[in-house]
Amino acid sequence: MTNRIDLLNQKVLIAGTDNALRKCVYSAFTDEGADVRAMDPVDTMDRAGVEGIQAAVASEIARLGGLDVLVVSMDVSSQPRLDHAGVEHWDAAFTRPLKSAIFATQAATPTLRNSRGAIVNLGSIIGQMGARPGLSITSAAIACLIHETRMLALRLSPDQVRVNCVCHGYLQDAEITDGPSGGDSKASRSVATEVPFGRLTTPEDVVGTVLFLASGQSRFLTGNIVYADGGTFAGH
Amino acid sequence: MNLADKKVLITGSTMGIGHASARAMLAAGARVALHGRNIERVREAIAELGFPGQSVAVGGDVGDPEQCRQLVEDAVAQLGGLDFLVCNAGIGDLSYPEAVTEEHWDKVMNVNCRSGYLLTKHALPALRQSRGAVLLVASAAGICAGPTDNFAYAIAKAGMISLAQTLSVELAPSGIRVNALCPGFINTPLIEAENRATNGQIHRFVEQATLLHRIGTEDECASTVAYLATDEAAYFTGVAIINDGGLTVQRSWGGRN
């Protein structure tokens, strides 16, 4: 066994909305010599339902000729505050992204059991803490993905399938909460006060942890939540 | 414990933790709107409790968004306000991750998680007036993974804990506190039915998995719920309180996947 991340010829499926993070993860696996496919489970479910997700995952696995790594990425989706949010906002930021992630994973699991593969979930620290108003629905969905990581890790351990989750830090200034307001003073918060490393998270900050968790270098890690957040979750 | 004149709505209070909590709060002087899917059953529960002058009944399915709105408005109208909302109604789950169906997933998520969001939303006008509090009843299963045949349930409860965190931030400027309660194994009808369905597996598991070697009682949960309704609990917000007899501290998953 070498002490380097070896993903050569690994069969990788990335399930998530096409965005900068997914592109970065895709390129990183490709650079390591993996065979990579990507799909958007939310879009697939909107068009063809849960059966459509199952068919799409099966089709991607067939094209890859198997599966070693599944990456499931869930976006941060800003919605109106509690007063103005309704069921349609819950559907958009909770029901659809979470359900499509769960059923994409379910569809890929039998193949991963055979290959003794790995699942890497991708969420945000806001799923583990009091996020700003407007992010409560998406935070709940991400909290669910984080807990699914633990539940699946236990379920799949007999087959040595590892399931872990990377939580990125703030991607945008808009995710940072306003300070508690009261009287005539309003605390102002920013990356300078909320992120020990003093800046927002970039996709490149996250992708190395994803590769590590997909590789044999993390062979005894399962059910873990890893924060790639410049120290944000550590303190207050 | 003094809850004189406190106005409380507690969902899912015809049996189990909700019923015991309603009894504890009524005994402390609160006026309580009890709730269940079947309003006749709620009226029976009120008669059993023996505080008819302090109790009102509301009905509806918390899995349905419109009924969430109606039942909160009905409770607020009957009580003349609201100080404490307890989102307790929930359903159990026996489904492994590979076996969960879309229909089952939707039902568990809507009843055990979305309801917390929607009930709190509809209670906002009344809670702003009273500068009241919300308690979302989650579960120790939402903190620490255990046997995975409650896959959807545990995940929904993790979502409920997240809602307590984020809504505490959002509602603090309105003087509203939001917390979660995470009971472990409590001898509710839900758990006892699951125990029967698994030939006593739940009780055997609890006896070896908890530091106290026993299942918790409904009253042990109810006293915590009632405490969180008091003014003495005014410094709690945004937290998940775990009431589990030492189940989660050792991270013992019970030896079955």
Q: Of B96, B153, B227, B235, which residue is the catalytic one?
A: B153
Tens of pLDDT, residue by residue, chain B (257 residues):
899 999 999 999 999 999 999 999 999 999 999 999 999 999 999 999 999 999 999 999 999 999 999 999 999 999 999 999 999 999 988 899 999 999 999 999 999 999 999 999 999 999 999 999 999 999 999 999 988 989 999 999 999 999 999 999 999 999 999 999 999 999 998 889 889 988 998 899 899 989 999 999 999 999 999 999 999 999 999 999 999 999 999 887 777 77
Please list every residue in chain A whose beta carbon sits closer than 8 Å to the beta carbon of residue B124: 82-83
**Rounded to 5°, angle at Cα B99 from B68 and B117:** 20
Q: Are B70 and B60 in contact (CB under 8 A)?
A: yes
Site from B169, B171, B174, B252 to mutate, A interface, most A CB atoms within 10 angstroms: B169
Beta bridge partners of B196: none
Please list every residue in chain A whose beta carbon sits closer than 8 Å to the beta carbon of residue B121: 82-83, 85
Instruction: Work out the pLDDT band at A187, boundaries 50, 70, 90.
Output: low
Query: By the CB < 8 Å criterion, does A99 face chain B?
Result: yes
CB contact under 8 A, A143 and B162: yes
Distance CA B36, CA B33 (A): 10
Q: Is B199 helix (H, G, I), strand (E, B) or coil?
A: coil
- Confidence (pLDDT) at A180: 53
Query: By the CB < 8 Å criterion, does A92 face chain B?
Result: no
User: For A96-128, how does the pLDDT look when each residue is reduced to its tens digit (9 = 90+)?
Assistant: 999 999 999 999 999 999 999 999 999 999 999
Distance CA A113, CA A131 (A): 35
Domains of chain B by residue range: 7-186+217-243
Residues 6+ apart with CB under 8 A from A85: A79, A137, B117, B121
- Confidence (pLDDT) at A235: 80
**A168 phi, psi to nearest 5 deg:** -80, 160
B235 is catalytic: no
Q: Is A136 helix (H, G, I), strand (E, B) or coil?
A: helix
Model pTM score: 0.96
Over the range A165-182, which residues count as b (16 or more CB within 10 Å of their CB) and which as e? bbbbbbbeeebbbeeeee
User: For A37-86, how does the pLDDT look when each residue is reduced to its tens digit (9 = 90+)?
Assistant: 999 999 999 999 999 999 999 999 999 999 999 999 999 999 999 999 99
Q: What is the chain B residue with the closest CA to A88?
A: B65
- Confidence (pLDDT) at A185: 44
- Confidence (pLDDT) at B198: 87
Mean pLDDT of chain A: 94
Candidates A110, A144, A158; nearest CB to B158: A144
Q: Are B230 and B169 in contact (CB under 8 A)?
A: no
Q: Are A223 and A163 in contact (CB under 8 A)?
A: yes
Distance CA B113, CA B118 (A): 9
Give the β-pairing of A181-182 and A185-186.
antiparallel
Specify the fold of B7-186+217-243.
Rossmann fold (3.40.50)
For the cut 70, the answer to whether the pLDDT of residue A170 exceeds it is yes
Structure tokens at A110: 């039998």
Query: By the CB < 8 Å criterion, does B175 face chain A?
Result: no
Q: Are A145 and A15 in contact (CB under 8 A)?
A: no
Q: Are A89 and A139 in contact (CB under 8 A)?
A: no
CB contact under 8 A, A136 and B167: yes
Q: Which of A80, A64, A75, A172 is nearest to A112 (CA)?
A: A64
For the cut 90, the answer to whether the pLDDT of residue A3 exceeds it is no
- What is the mean pLDDT of the segment spanning A161-179? 91
Q: Are A167 and A127 in contact (CB under 8 A)?
A: yes
Distance CA B44, CA B66 (A): 25
- CATH code for the part of the protein at A11-194+202-228: 3.40.50.720
Domains of chain A by residue range: 11-194+202-228
- State the Cα torsion B205-B209-B211-B212 to the nearest 10°: -10
Structure tokens at A129: 């803490």
Q: Identify the DSSP state of B64.
A: S
Structure tokens at B22: 């309603």
Query: By the CB < 8 Å criterion, does A127 face chain B?
Result: yes
Query: By the CB < 8 Å criterion, does B165 face chain A?
Result: yes
- Confidence (pLDDT) at A1: 59
How many Å lie between the alpha carbon of B123 and the closest alpha carbon of chain A?
10
Distance CA A32, CA A215 (A): 11
Query: By the CB < 8 Å criterion, does A65 face chain B?
Result: no
Query: By the CB < 8 Å criterion, does B5 face chain A?
Result: no
CB contact under 8 A, A103 and B102: yes
Q: Are A113 and A158 in contact (CB under 8 A)?
A: no
Candidates B124, B154, B165; nearest CB to A83: B124
- Confidence (pLDDT) at A184: 42
Q: Are A173 and A199 in contact (CB under 8 A)?
A: no
For the cut 60, the answer to whether the pLDDT of residue A181 exceeds it is no
